[in-house]
Amino acid sequence: MDKVESNLGFRLMSLGYKFRDLRLPRKNILNEVGIKPGFRVLDYGCGPGSYIMPLAELVGESGRVYVLDMHPLAIQRVKDIASKKKLVNVETILSECQTGLPDDSLDAVLLYDIFHHLSDPDAILKELHRVLKPGGTLSLSDHHMKENEIVSGVTNSRLFSLSRKGQRTSTFLKK
């Protein structure tokens, strides 16, 4: 990711996402991913944490939700949500690229509305490939990009292959 957004910019984005989430609940989007109880999932570029509640519910007590963002306010917002809602299966990561997670440790990664911001998408894709289990799922959505740009941006790395196109997301599998 290029640079940390200003605190005001982050707060405005967060407000906009609240209205968006009322129109289209995040759980509706997550249904396309196929997340199951016990899954270990990373929300890469989590922003204000719109997906945290439905993710924590989907993975259940036996699963784990990791959220990564480079903006300290995003991480604090997620920590506040997790604390308020008593989500013990959520862990935050403040980083611009590296997750710090073990190799082959995740079942799924969400890369939502962030791909167009990445200054070095290949480095991010390599890191996500490293942490995903064999056959793991990369779910990507970015309304700032055309579908063919997303598909070529991910598959040109030769690390992932397109599995399916949903109504709101594209699903890629780790090769």
Q: What is the pLDDT of residues 51-71, one digit of tens each?
A: 999 999 999 999 999 999 999
Nearest 5 degrees, angle CA 77-CA 80-CA 82?
A: 110
Q: Is residue 2 part of a domain?
A: no
Q: Is residue 102 part of a domain?
A: yes
Q: Is residue 1 part of a domain?
A: no
Average pLDDT in the chain: 89
CATH number at residue 19: 3.40.50.150
The structural domain count of the chain equals 1
Q: Is residue 125 part of a domain?
A: yes
Tokens standing for residue 12 = 């405005």
Whether 19 shows a pLDDT value over 70: the answer reads no
Average pLDDT, stretch 23-39? 85
Q: Is residue 76 part of a domain?
A: yes
Q: What residue numbers bound the domain in which 41 lies?
A: 7-174
Whether 9 shows a pLDDT value over 80: the answer reads no
| pLDDT for position 15 | 57
- Listing from the earlier edge strand, what are the strands of the sheet with 40-44? 90-94, 64-69, 40-44, 106-112, 132-141, 170-174, 160-165
135 alpha-carbon distance from chain centroid: 17
Q: How far is CA 165 from CA 156, 169, 173, in A?
A: 17, 6, 12
Q: What backbone phi and psi angles, to 5 degrees, belong to 11?
A: -65, -40
Tokens standing for residue 14 = 């967060």
Question: pLDDT digits over 110-164, tens only?
Answer: 999 899 989 899 999 999 999 999 999 999 999 889 999 999 999 999 999 999 9
Q: Is residue 154 part of a domain?
A: yes
